Amino acid sequence: MSLPSLFKTLTSDPLAISRREQILVALAGLVAIFFTGILSHRLLAGSMPFMIASMGASSALVFVMAGSPLAQPWPLVGGHLISACIGVGVPYLIPDTVNAAATAAGLSILFMLALRCFHPPGTATALAPILSNHPDKLYDLQYVLTPVVLNVLLLLALTIIINRWVLKRNYPLNNQQFLAKKTLQPAKTNQLSNFYKADIQQAIVDFDNFLDISYEDLSQLFTQIQLNSFKRHQALVNCASIMTQDIITVNYDTEVEYAWNLMQQHNLKALPVLDRARRVIGIVTQYDFFKYVKLTPYASFQEKFLNFLKKSTDITTTKPEAIGHIMSRNVASLSVSSPIEDIMQLMVNDGHRHIPIVDREQRFVGMIFQRNFISALFHSKTTFIPSTDEIISSEIVGH
């Protein structure tokens, strides 16, 4: 590995945090440690030590990763308290400093995990009394109360104040929020992920290793894995290979009655609206016709609808006369080279039933209906080219 590559690897940012967020959490850590130190110093009347170094590591964790299970109140308090007790007790059993430090580190990790209060800076708290012990005077439980408990309680209070009321964060996460992550509900991040959050939770348990990642992030990650796998297996399938061609279209100025008769004659559910350059400017469905019919208690729907369809004989009218007046303008289209996973995103996630397909010049060349998509899924190794009979019959069915 070259030196520039090695340097780039060592200096890569593991956390994708904006510059503004970096400044805010840095200031939060500064303020928290400042007030924890000055209050501890005054309450302990200047006795030494009035603060343990591991508070600095805890302040970084509770502000940079406030949503992490490692940064919640019980891990913060319990982790330091248990580790401090271990750090005070081990030297009485193991006089050698190196062996005592190693034993205290291992025991602190074990007990924090067992008591569900794992907090990495707690291991440093366990080492502090061992490495700073005088051979003739070992620390006692007074060290646990002052400065450890005092430091931790002050830091916890400042963490809650700063996170909740200054940074406007949801801290601490309560039990209901943790339990909500475990409820048997479908993952809402993406409709492509057709599994339950309990499945993710069980997978984490089976993995038997700590993962500092939310269920939502795992759901999005799993969805992306599905799409990547789908793309690899369907690499040769694109819009051009499965679209239906020779689609009936209308123009902006096509009369409403004519367009309706066209849809009824061919039993269509949608009509693409094109300009003179054959670019898609809208789409018309049956709903677009019905939404302009205003019903009253004294007129039937049929009467109102027929009046809506008929061309007005007056010079001026408030009724839509052209198809361009009632069409839906926000049309999702794809290019002929778009892969099949793009179709999946629109149909599965966004609920589209028919997607216009355009060429490089954005000119309309065909449509993809649900039938095309389903056929491609079941015949992924063959190119779907509809025959003329299929095109006519599919239009009659209405897709």
Q: How many other C-beta atoms are found inside a 10 Å radius of the C-beta of residue 274?
A: 19
Residue 173, in any domain of the structure: no
Q: What is the pLDDT of residue 304?
A: 62
Q: Chunked in runs of 10, what are the mean pLDDT values of the chain (399 residues)? A: 68 71 94 96 85 95 90 96 95 93 97 96 95 76 91 97 91 62 43 61 65 67 72 74 90 88 88 93 86 61 63 65 86 89 82 90 92 76 40 39
pLDDT for res 189:
42
Same domain for 212 and 254, yes or no, is: no
**Same-domain pairing of 245 and 377:** yes
Is residue 147 in a domain? yes
CA distance 311 to 260: 12
Residue 24 is assigned to a structural domain of this protein: yes
Euclidean distance between CA atoms 366 and 343, whole angstroms: 14
Query: Based on the domain organization, do 222 and 276 belong to the same domain?
Result: no
Burial of 76 (0-12, 13-18, 19+ CB in 10 A): buried
Q: Are 368 and 390 in contact, with CB atoms under 8 Å apart?
A: no
| Residues 292 and 190 grouped into a single domain | no
In this structure, are 140 and 223 located in the same domain?
no
353 assigned to some structural domain: yes
Quick one: pLDDT at residue 235?
63
**How distant is the alpha carbon of residue 84 from its chain centre?**
38
Of 262, 261, 269, the residue nearest 397 (C-alpha):
269
Nearest to 184 by CA among 195, 173, 169: 195
Q: Any idea what DSSP says for residue 318?
A: S
Q: Are residues 224 and 90 in the same domain?
A: no
Q: What is the DSSP letter of 88?
A: H
| 283, 370: one domain | yes
Token pair in block for residue 147? 């400065």
Query: Are 194 and 273 found together in one domain?
Result: no
Residue 48 lies in a domain: yes
**Of the candidates 294, 278, 73, the residue with the CA atom closest to the CA atom of residue 171:** 73
Q: Of the candidates 231, 257, 288, which is a domain's last residue?
A: 231
CB atoms within 10 A of CB 388: 9
> Domain containing 336 — which CATH number?
3.10.580.10
- 2 within a domain of the structure (yes/no): no
- The answer to whether residues 323 and 356 belong to one domain is yes
Specify the number of domains making up the chain.
3
SS3 271: strand
Range of the domain at 79: 14-166
| Residue 6 forms part of a structural domain | no
Return the half-sphere exposure (C-beta side, CA atoms, 13 A cut-off) of residue 378.
5
User: Strand 280-285 to strand 334-335: parallel, antiparallel, or no bridges (unpaired)?
Assistant: unpaired
Two tokens, residue 290:
């019905």
Is the domain of 346 the same as that of 295? Answer: yes
Same domain, 75 and 58: yes
Q: List the Cα angle 255/256/262 in 5-degree steps.
A: 90
Among the listed residues 140, 128, 123, the one whose alpha carbon sits nearest the alpha carbon of residue 79: 123
Q: Quick one: DSSP state of residue 311?
A: P
The dihedrals phi and psi of 273, each to the nearest 5 degrees, come to: -105, 120
Give the CA angle between residues 143, 146, 152 to the nearest 5°: 110
Six-digit token pair at 363? 């000119």
What is the rounded CA–CA span in Å between residue 54 and residue 123? 8
Is 57 part of any domain? Answer: yes
Are 227 and 324 within one domain? no
